[in-house]
Amino acid sequence: MKQWTIDETQINERIDKMIVLLHGDTSRTHVQKWIQDGLVTVNEQAIKANYKVQQGDVIGVMEPELASTEVKAENIPLDVVYEDADLIVVNKPRGMVVHPAPGHSSGTLVNALLYHCTDLSGINDEVRPGIVHRIDKDTTGLIVAAKNDHAHEHLSKQLMNKTTKRQYKAIVHGVLSHKKGTIDAPIGRDLKDRQKMAVTDRNSKQAVTHFTLEETFRAFSYVTCELETGRTHQIRVHFQYIEHPLAGDPKYGYKKTLPIAGQALHAETLGFVHPRTNEELLFTAPVPEDMETLLQDLRKQD
């Protein structure tokens, strides 16, 4: 069950609207159905959709999971960078969702992995088997999945202890004034837009992104980003926060069309200790063709 406690800044909002704001990954229609089905409580009591929240209220949501029968193996090509009996590293293409969710029950990385692999870790659930970490739908690059629970636990612990190496390449608007820098700003759900994250002190978690300037153009910069934490949309939110949003990112940047179908962000490097052999592994994947084309176009303009 997911739970939230209402503070003084959130009072007198309808319960269904408040859950949409807090949850971030569902619609008001879904929430109203949960309320009707008795899956939503306030202070452990069932309520109606028009209930207005009060300070100190504890909202509980027993969110229904997707049925396991909805997640089917699909013969989707995968760019496999590495694979053994314990794990698989894939170079995810732009446009592929990592795991099934409302509105994306097929065509995901999980659907492809279920077809490709004979087994995946069951630590999460039937909807997210083997998934240790995620990258956004329109972010390309490296992601590791676990084939058994031992590998899953080992890799998850490395992520928690911040010992994995995760570097991204990004093209951002504007010319950065520093060769190196660190963005240390907490990230939480944007209460004005349930589909976005934001730098905020309310209901947020620490988020740290280190960056190195690789190349500058007339109106853009090419950077390497290294994650110390792994918050949702972290790089996209952090660069919006310092007023250098990612190219091709209409959610956090500008709506101006660029020759790229999504944010110019690529998970280029992934490093971790193998959960069985204790060998240090490091993988790299070149930036995708559309991002490389954009870089070439920017260089010609200078």
Q: What Cα–Cα distance (Å) separates residue 260 from each residue in 19, 66, 138, 293?
A: 34, 32, 10, 9
In this structure, are residues 187 and 204 in contact, taking their beta carbons and an 8 Å threshold? yes
Active site residue 25: no
- The bridge status of strand 45-46 relative to strand 80-83 is unpaired
The b-or-e profile of 72-100 (16+ CB within 10 A means b, else e) is: eeeebebeebeeeebbbbbbbebebbbbb
Q: Which residues contact 41 (CB under 8 A, 6 or more apart)?
A: 47, 59, 60
Let me know how many helices (H) and strands (E) the chain has, helices first.
Answer: 6, 16
Active-site residue identified among 16, 57, 86, 136: 136
In this structure, are residues 228 and 234 in contact, taking their beta carbons and an 8 Å threshold? no
DSSP 8-state secondary structure symbol assigned to residue 70: G
- Amino acid making up residue 257: T
Q: Characterise 13 by phi-psi region: left (phi > 0), alpha (psi -120 to 50), beta (else).
A: beta
Residue numbers annotated as active site: 136
